[in-house]
């Protein structure tokens, strides 16, 4: 009788661990399918009865989901937990490097990249090389120069009703009407529109503060205020209620 009970306990233990692992995988699939909030809801239910051996994959999946939800501080905490629970996991180092680079903490980014170089994960090391190259472009100013070039190329595109280009300083009305008239084509050039909006603020005395991630890059005006051209353009695509000029004015309005 004792051994039957013991065998039943062992089976239950491994069944619960398997079920938890499956739920973590299901949460990862929800994230892949573009449902990060549902993924997080499922994952947090799983975490209430989690076996210690599943902690690294649980924390890593949670970090990816939180990053997708733009909860960067919590994502970093999750990836740091992976570092503690599974020190040989190069993927956590890679994710932390990316998050630090997106947050303008370039020295920390380089430290995480250096750390994973010693680990046995060739794919992670290869990805790290790409991040390191991009980091060098950001810190040298080359990336900012690229933003400027792309903005001026966008200024020359014939997107108006009669083939007119926005020009520089850009005619925001031409861009507004293009977004309303052909949103799919305009969305394909989302980054270019945002760079043009940003460069127009540079012409007024601002400067680019370049992140490792293009859409985290912002303009710092002459008063030290940060303006996100990518958020401005995203708001314009979500609604026709405000024009780009109105959104820029709203975002740039200074509090006394």
- Half-sphere exposure (Cβ direction) of 169: Cα atoms closer than 13 Å: 10
The Cα 241–Cα 77 span in angstroms is: 38
Domains and CATH numbers, the chain: 2-140 (1.25.40.10), 142-252 (no CATH)
pLDDT of res. 24: 77
pLDDT of res. 121: 86
Res. 232: pLDDT tops 50 = yes
Report pLDDT digits (tens) over 160-192: 888 899 999 999 999 999 999 999 999 999 999
pLDDT of res. 49: 63
pLDDT of res. 48: 61
- The burial of 188, by beta-carbon neighbours within 10 Å (0-12 exposed, 13-18 middle, 19 or more buried), is given as exposed
DSSP 69: T
pLDDT of res. 5: 33
Stretch 109-122: mean pLDDT: 90
């Amino acid at each position: 009788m004792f051994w039957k009970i013991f065998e039943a306990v062992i089976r239950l233990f491994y069944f619960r661990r398997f079920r938890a692992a499956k739920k973590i995988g299901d949460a990862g699939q929800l994230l892949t399918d573009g449902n990060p909030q549902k993924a997080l809801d499922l994952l947090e239910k799983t975490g209430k009865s989690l076996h210690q051996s599943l902690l690294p994959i649980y924390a890593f999946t949670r970090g990816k989901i939180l990053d997708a939800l733009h909860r960067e501080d919590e994502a970093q905490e999750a990836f740091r937990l992976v570092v503690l629970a599974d020190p040989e996991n190069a993927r956590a180092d890679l994710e932390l490097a990316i998050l630090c680079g997106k947050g303008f903490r370039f020295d920390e980014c380089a430290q995480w990249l250096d750390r994973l170089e010693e680990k046995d994960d060739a794919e992670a090391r290869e990805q790290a090389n790409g991040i390191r190259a991009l980091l060098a472009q950001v810190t040298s100013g080359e990336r900012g120069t690229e933003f400027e070039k792309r903005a001026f190329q966008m200024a020359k595109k014939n997107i108006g009703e009669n083939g007119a280009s926005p020009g520089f300083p850009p005619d925001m009305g031409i861009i507004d009407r293009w977004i309303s008239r052909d949103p799919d084509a305009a969305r394909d050039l989302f980054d270019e529109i945002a760079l043009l909006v940003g460069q127009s603020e540079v012409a007024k005395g601002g400067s680019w503060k370049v992140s490792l991630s293009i859409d985290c890059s912002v303009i710092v005006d002459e008063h030290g205020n940060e303006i996100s051209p990518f958020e401005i353009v995203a708001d314009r695509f979500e609604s026709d209620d405000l024009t780009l000029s109105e959104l820029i004015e709203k975002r740039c309005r200074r509090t006394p």
